[in-house]
Amino acid sequence: MNQASTGGVADSSMDIHQILDYLPHRYPILLVDRVLNVVPGERITALKNVTMNEPFFPGHYPHHPVMPGVLVVEAMAQTAAILAFKTMGSKPDGKSVYYFVGIDNARFKKPVGPGDQLVIDVALTANKRGIWKFSATAKVDGQLAAEADLICAVRPTP
């Protein structure tokens, strides 16, 4: 499915069961809880509810829990993967892998901790020869927590 076939109209939101159809990730690395809206070929907005029960908090850091920045970026990449699959009009099939292959301009502006809700916005900026480029932000309470330009690729499984 491409932008022309959707007419730029947003799909409905996605709950966790629908997200599991589009991402091969499972606990403890699944980092998208809900999709608020998606316009295939354009953009997506998703949520990650950060709880004290996250497996990384006991070690990062015990007296001041902070979500690792690399996991905030991973949440943005997973959100981008959903957008890519929605844009292609397909779901993961075991015959290919959606790889996260690059990060540019990553910046971390605000720590993310237990009780925070990440609102992740991802926009598709390019898609050529199986290379997908996205611009992504993650906000907490309307304040920018992180931003990055992401590069992903879909490749056949080895």
Residues acting as catalytic residues: 60
Selection from 22, 120, 42, 106 nearest residue 75 by Cα:
120
Residue 79 CA to residue 72 CA, distance in Å, equals 11
Selection from 144, 136, 137 nearest residue 109 by Cα:
144
Bridge-based pairing state of the strands 43-49 and 34-39:
antiparallel
Contacts for 135 with CB less than 8 Å, ≥ 6 apart? 122, 123, 125, 147, 149, 150
Residues comprising the chain, all counted: 158
Residue 114 has which token pair?
């237990």
